Amino acid sequence: MPEEAPRYCIDTSSLIKWWDEDYSPSVFEGLPDRMAALISEGRLRSVRYVRDEIKDSADEKELTLAKWCKAQNDFYLDDDEELILEVRGIMAMFQNPKKSLGISGADPFLIARAKLNGSNWFIVSDENPSNGNGHKNPNIPFVCAQIGVKHIRFFDMLLMEAWKLK
């Protein structure tokens, strides 16, 4: 039996890096269609908190990204009770409300969703791993490593999909 194709839960940082920075649709014209195809296949998803982070931007490029994301059916996954319980557990382990440090915003929802969805799910985030300080202010790569969720960068996703961009 063939191995199931990888699935991705993408963070705001990777969406912005794709759209605004390294892989702009103005240069890589076919990339939005490939991303949309992943969404249609059910292999690329995000959480509603990412939608909120993108739509709250005043940046013109990010507003265009927000429109593209909104136009993708089934891109954003809804919360459910199981997700909320998992998020609470992640927050309890990796958030310090007294110091305003730790995992917050969309991050615990992305991690929880990938963890609950199974071992073929990857978090796609362009956050840099914490170099020895992750325990003081944990971010996505640190938390993923601690709880056994796979983390990759946007470029890694392109490599995994074996896309050749022109």
Which of 21-25, 37-41, 105-109 is the most confident on average? 37-41
pLDDT for position 132: 55
Mean pLDDT taken over the chain: 87
State pLDDT tens for residues 50-90. Answer: 988 887 666 666 678 888 998 999 999 989 999 999 999 99
Q: Give the integer Cα–Cα distance in Å for 99 and 81.
A: 28
State pLDDT tens for residues 111-127. Answer: 999 999 989 999 999 98
Domain spans, the chain = 7-160
Rounded to two decimals, the pTM is 0.88
Burial class (CB in 10 A: 0-12, 13-18, 19+), 80: exposed
Which fold does the domain 7-160 belong to in CATH? Rossmann fold (3.40.50)
Using the predicted structure, report yes or no on whether residue 40 has a pLDDT greater than 90: yes
Residue 6: band (very low, low, confident or very high) from pLDDT cuts 50, 70, 90: very high
pLDDT for position 100: 67
